[in-house]
Amino acid sequence: MAGTGYDEEAHAAQARAAMVRGMAAAGALPDPAWRAAFEAVPRHLFVPYYYVEGSGGSRRLWSGDPDPETRWRWLDGAYADTALGTRMRDGRLISSSSQPSLMALMLAALDVRDGDRVLEIGAGTGYNAALLAHRLGDGRVTTVDLDPEITESARNHLAAAGYRPLVVTGDGARGCPQRAPFDGILATCALPSVPRAWVAQAAPGARIVAPLATGLVSLRVADTPDGRVARGPFLATSAFFVALRGAPAAGSPEPAAGLPPHALSNDLFRFLLALSAEALTPEEAYRLWRHERRPRRDRFGVTVTREGQWAWLDDPRGPHVWPLPEI
């Protein structure tokens, strides 16, 4: 319990160590380099306040609360393995700090090596950029966000923690051509499809990891005789992120009333509904889901070419393929 002589930094160090131990025990940190980054970067400096849900609605916990018990809860919460809502506008969440174990999964999927250059889309609090900067160095990390308040806050948080990657205010869907090519592109905001600008700004062999529908797609970029292609599967996990501002909203059709309740409540079916919203009716999606025996997320994938992009089940060549909207 907090009291006289309370040492916030010692408490933060203990809470951070406990968070990392829990993530490692769950298998979220197999790479020692990423474990070292999570051990070193002080998450609490990136979430000086965040929102928690209570019986009376959202409540803000913050580092400057005059009540020492509330500050204690704020610091413990900063190192919980959970997403934290950090910025609200008109009652709507517009920025958050992602769940650390999910961040670790995405960073591992990015498959970076020493010397790689990474573009992050969605600066958020700056915490993810700090992890990347710890792993790769400040000069090899660029993070972009459309909202100048968010980028200014991220810069301040990064500086307070001792990191200085490039923070750019701009449209994340356009990438950051002046810093290209990138060996990895990581999006921390939900998308209806993969912007072609990212594929153009990726180096051959680069990985693009991004939330799409309610999953995470992991694409490998390659130059082929027919032009540049990015292709890859979804990871098995679910993922829910704040939408990329400035991009068209992802399709979210109203499920048909005739579909059975077990399908409408099934996370995997709702993933297929979101992924195919621009091309399939709910009834068509349900028939596909039933015919293919309720496929997991990792049976689906995405291909991006100069002609367009499409999602697929099991095989990029078909028979189950459908177009995705362009950003």
Q: Maximum Cα–Cα distance for the chain, whole Å?
A: 69
| pLDDT digit string, tens, across residues 264-304 | 899 999 999 999 998 999 999 999 999 999 999 999 999 99
pLDDT band at 2 (very low <50, low <70, confident <90, very high): very low
Q: Are 236 and 173 in contact, with CB atoms under 8 Å apart?
A: no
In the predicted model, what is the mean pLDDT of residues 205-211?
97
pTM of the predicted protein model:
0.93
Residue from 58, 63, 95, 97 carrying the catalytic annotation: 95
- Token code pair at residue 54: 């209570």
| pLDDT digit string, tens, across residues 57-114 | 788 999 999 999 999 999 999 999 999 999 888 777 788 899 999 999 999 999 999 9
Residue 95 annotated to the active site? yes
Domain boundaries, the chain: 247-323
* CA 304/CA 231 separation, integer angstroms: 6
* CA 78/CA 48 separation, integer angstroms: 9
Q: Is 307 left (phi over 0), alpha (psi -120 to 50) or beta?
A: alpha
